[in-house]
Amino acid sequence: MENQFRFELIHKSKKSGARVGRIHTPHGIIDTPNFVGVGTNATMKSLDSKQVDDLGLQLMFCNTYHLMLQPGADVIQKAGGLHTFMNRKQPIITDSGGFQVFSLMYGTVKDELKSQGRKKGDNAVLNISEDGVLFRSYRDGKKILLTPETSVQAQKALGADIIIPFDELPPYHIDRKQLIESLHRTHRWEKRSLDEHLKNPNGQAMYAVIHGGVDPELRALSAKTLTAMPFDGFAIGGSLGKTREQMIEMLGHLMPYIPTDKPNHLLGIGDVFSLEPCIKLGLDTFDSSHPTRSARHGTLFTSQGFVKLANAINRELFEPIDSGCSCYTCKHYTRAYLHHLFKAKEMTGYTLASIHNLHFMVQLMAQYREKILNDEI
Amino acid sequence: MENQFRFELIHKSKKSGARVGRIHTPHGIIDTPNFVGVGTNATMKSLDSKQVDDLGLQLMFCNTYHLMLQPGADVIQKAGGLHTFMNRKQPIITDSGGFQVFSLMYGTVKDELKSQGRKKGDNAVLNISEDGVLFRSYRDGKKILLTPETSVQAQKALGADIIIPFDELPPYHIDRKQLIESLHRTHRWEKRSLDEHLKNPNGQAMYAVIHGGVDPELRALSAKTLTAMPFDGFAIGGSLGKTREQMIEMLGHLMPYIPTDKPNHLLGIGDVFSLEPCIKLGLDTFDSSHPTRSARHGTLFTSQGFVKLANAINRELFEPIDSGCSCYTCKHYTRAYLHHLFKAKEMTGYTLASIHNLHFMVQLMAQYREKILNDEI
């Protein structure tokens, strides 16, 4: 059945661990390797779903935590699921909400919360137990219990093509004993999530999240534990090191433990510099808000490097951002006009810049697939 | 020559002063009566020019004052004019900058300035003389002299299809002697503007601005004075009263003085309630930021009245804003989704709401033209 979840391996590079594949989902195909755009609140900031579909962005990441609080998973379920609610035709992946809830304690998403005009601490984690996490909603003060079961139920209501089990995000600074305890609890939570999911798979696929922090042994243990369970794919989560080099080293150590007959995903990493080394290690998909956030801050991606729109040099450059680019923005508008929109703080500038950067990512990933097919990387 | 400015009267209603016409400009036709969208900074807030063109909005108003300060009229001239700079295919009208400069003193556009994150008083009018107005730019502190000649030169650089002579905006509370002095100076300034324009018409049309405040005699005097000069059309500016009723009464008094063989424009008035009575008096075009500002505040226009998106009733309404509406927003998204975008403060909501309200205005004006052609109003 074409619209059932499955992974098709098309080609394995002769030169590296890189591979080209195709993930089949109920809402169409995701060519891999690929970039996954982040649309936290069921919208890619400043773009509507049709614009995102037209860009050819095959997989979009939405955040269960945010959607549970606004508009509520029940509302989205009544709408007929996230695809209908936001009118997205192509595949969607949701996370478990765990990352955001734990970030409240450690502040790792404080910048994101800030950008929403809220202060860190507006949310409060009230209790963490074997059952799950109790926290207070920043929207209405209601207490919400997030457990493996309630997270999966929310993700069933949202109805994404790919869902994620509930996990614990350990802080970067943690002693080994605590990290091991956290890891075992995460494994128990992921197992409970999988059990809840398998009661009613409903065409959804579930990717495990491999943890273990910056400890190679624990990473291997996590991979071995989770790959023994019938997950449909494997995501890599948590901290992988302080630098890109440490991350690549850790992934190099970890990837041999990841089954090659299933798709994998690197959570929250998708900046242009990290992609190629990760692709060479056999990673398939990458989600990141970096291209869209950069766009809103006026940094545009081009084949010649980054363009800072606010720079005075753009004031009278009556040419596209990237002369070789075929995106909507480059086809219709100049650097000088975009520079003006940014100086005048016009929202239109954020939209046009986001279109350009997402188009860049979609094209970049197509180029990587082409290179892999030709055994060039 | 098709692309030369001219007004074609198509039909005069048998029932009222309403008329259907066609304004031919170098960038195409404006069917009248029509609504004119306001795109202050060379963009309709949250929309790009192609979206506005696709909406069928035939005339767009841009503000010379804002564009002189950012990016500068010289930059836009180097780009090849405003149409090329912002990639707008259809007609544009610019004002003289006078309204904004004088508003700095009286605070009548303070709300607008506030919404840009600036405080009233950031700008400073330094001197007003027979020559013009000297003010300090809020952007870089530079002193700028705005005179009839420099305003027209800036508007030549911008290259809009329709331009406006430099006028004085008198405050609402002013004694008759001062109002008469202001009016005569405005007439002298408009004459100087016209002279400057006629040195090099360059395909542009210039509409006079009829003043006289809330004094019927002075309004008639202004109309007589200005219609004796070879302007291409006539705009009505300044205060027309404190209420809609006073405005309609004053326009009823004034319109017999306005030549019927040229187009006319009502400056800054275009809310849905004012349109029909003004159209019946023979007014042709109306600019207003009301539809787009309302949209950004979550008020949507429908055939059934205003819809306040933030209202909880919309939370689970999985239907278009207006079931009879054929706009991009209503074709693709529901009230529930738009409600969510507004609650989540997502920019996409502002864009989709603006598209809907502008489409509503374009359709509403087409309906008025149809009614006039059928002598129904």
B207 and B312 together in one domain: no
Q: Which of A29, A43, A40, A55 is nearest to A357 (CA)?
A: A55
Residue B364 included in any domain: no
A129 in a structural domain: no
- What pLDDT sits at residue A142? 87
Mean pLDDT score, B176-182: 92
Q: Is A204 within a domain?
A: yes
Phi-psi region of B28 (alpha: psi -120 to 50; beta: other; left: phi over 0): left
Residue B322 annotated in active site: no
Task: Determine the pLDDT at residue B122.
Answer: 52
Total residue length of chain A: 377
- Average pLDDT over chain B reads 93
Nearest to B347 by CA among B300, B295, B306: B295
Yes or no: say if B153 and B161 are a contact pair by the CB < 8 Å rule. no
Statement to judge: residues A246 and A333 lie in one domain:
no
Best mutation target among B340, B341, B343, B351 (most A Cβ atoms within 10 Å) is: B340
Query: In which band, very low, low, confident or very high, does the pLDDT at B137 lie, cut at 50, 70 and 90?
Result: confident
User: Taking the model in full, what pTM does it have?
Assistant: 0.94
**Domain final position from B268, B288, B308:** B288
Residue of B31, B232, B284, B287 marked active site: B287
Mutate to test the interface with A, among B38, B44, B45, B48 (most CBs of A within 10 A): B48
Q: Between chains, do B70 and A346 touch, taking CB under 8 Å as contact? A: no
Taking only the tens place, the pLDDT of each residue in B11-59 is 999 999 999 999 999 999 999 999 999 999 999 999 999 999 999 999 9
Q: Do B62 and B28 lie in a common domain? A: yes
Query: Does residue A295 sit within a domain?
Result: no
Q: Does B313 touch chain A (CB under 8 A)?
A: no
Cβ of A48 within 8 Å of Cβ of B87? The answer is no
Segment holding A235, helix H or strand E: strand A233-236
Mean pLDDT of chain A: 93
pLDDT band at A3 (very low <50, low <70, confident <90, very high): low
Identify residue A153 by its one-letter amino acid code.
Q
Indicate yes or no: CB of B344 within 8 angstroms of CB of A70. yes
Distance CA B288, CA B60 (A): 10
Residue scoring higher pLDDT (B302 or B121)? B302
Residues in chain B within 8 Å Cβ distance of A346:
41, 43, 45
In a domain, A299, yes or no: no
Residues in contact with A343: Cβ distance below 8 Å, sequence separation at least 6, in sequence order: A310, B70, B71
> Looking at the complex, does the CB of residue B105 fall below 8 Å from at least one CB of chain A?
no
Comparison of pLDDT for B179 and B162, the residue scoring more = B162
- The pLDDT value given to residue A107: 59
Predicted pLDDT at A86: 98
Does one domain contain both A66 and A184? yes
CB contact under 8 A, B315 and A71: yes
Q: What pLDDT score does A139 carry?
A: 80
pLDDT of residue B120: 47
Name the closest residue on chain A to residue B41, using Cα atoms.
A344
Whether residue B318 and residue A80 make contact (CB cut-off 8 A), yes or no, is yes
B348 closest CB neighbour out of A48, A343, A344: A48
* Structural domain that includes position B205: 6-95+148-288
Catalytic residue among A161, A167, A284, A287: A287
Which value does ipTM take for this structure?
Answer: 0.94
Q: What per-residue confidence (pLDDT) applies to A112? A: 41
d(C-alpha B60, C-alpha B62), whole Å: 7
pLDDT in tens, B222-268: 999 999 999 999 999 998 999 999 999 999 999 999 999 999 999 99
Residues 6+ apart with CB under 8 A from B38: B44, B60, B61, B63, B287, B288, B289, B292
Reported as a pLDDT band with limits 50, 70 and 90, residue A218 is very high
Best of B346, B352, B358 to substitute, by most chain A Cβ atoms within 10 angstroms, is B346
Q: Indicate whether B133 belongs to any domain.
A: no
Which pLDDT value is given to residue A233? Answer: 98
> How many structural domains compose chain A?
2
Decide if A345 touches B, using CB distance below 8 A: yes
CA A88 vs CA A2, A61, A91, A372, B129: distances in Å: 19, 12, 8, 29, 59
Interchain proximity A48–B345, CB inside 8 Å:
no
Q: Of the residues B260, B288, B316, which one is the last residue of a structural domain?
A: B288
- Is residue B125 scored above 90 in pLDDT? no
Run of H or E residues at A226: helix A216-227
Q: Do B340 and A116 touch (CB under 8 A)?
A: no
Q: What is the mean predicted confidence (pLDDT) over B319-342?
A: 97
pLDDT at B80: 98
B197 and B73 belong to one structural domain: yes
- Which of the two residues, A119 and A145, has the higher pLDDT score? A145
- What integer pLDDT is reported at residue B140 of this predicted model? 83
What CATH number did the domain enclosing A71 receive? 3.20.20.105
pLDDT in tens, B65-120: 999 999 999 999 999 999 999 999 999 999 999 888 888 766 544 444 444 444 44
The arithmetic mean of pLDDT across residues B284-305, rounded, is 96
A284 is catalytic: no
Are residues A172 and A225 located together in one domain of the fold? yes
CB contact under 8 A, B43 and A346: yes
For A44-65, what is the mean pLDDT? 97
A24 and A166 fall within a common domain: yes
Same domain, A72 and A209: yes
Higher-confidence residue of A1 and A355: namely A355
**Chain B interface, best mutation among A44, A337, A355, by max B CB count within 10 A:** A337
Give the confidence band of A363 by pLDDT, cuts at 50, 70, 90: very high
- For the segment A67-113, what is each residue's pLDDT rounded down to a tens digit? 999 999 999 999 999 999 999 999 999 999 988 888 876 654 444 44
Same domain, A85 and A158: yes
Of residues A46, A75, A79, nearest to B348 (C-beta): A46
Structure tokens at B312: 């909880």
A309/A268 same-domain check: no
Q: What is the pLDDT of residue B319?
A: 97
Are B208 and B320 part of one and the same domain? no
Which chain A residues are within 8 Å of B86, Cβ to Cβ?
337
Residues B262 and B321 in one domain: no
For chains A and B, CB pairs below 8 A equal: 124
Q: Which residues make beta-bridge pairs with A205?
A: A162
Predicted confidence at residue B141, as pLDDT, reads 84
Tell me the residues of chain B between 137 and 176 that have a Cβ less than 8 Å away from chain A: none
A352 assigned to some structural domain: yes
Q: Which of A302-316, B104-118, B179-193 has the lowest mean pLDDT?
A: B104-118
B371 belongs to a structural domain: no
What mean pLDDT is predicted for residues A33-43? 97
Three-class SS state of A141: coil
Q: Indicate yes or no: CB of A78 within 8 angstroms of CB of B316.
A: yes
Q: CA distances (Å), A185 to each of A133, A145, A359, in order?
A: 12, 17, 40
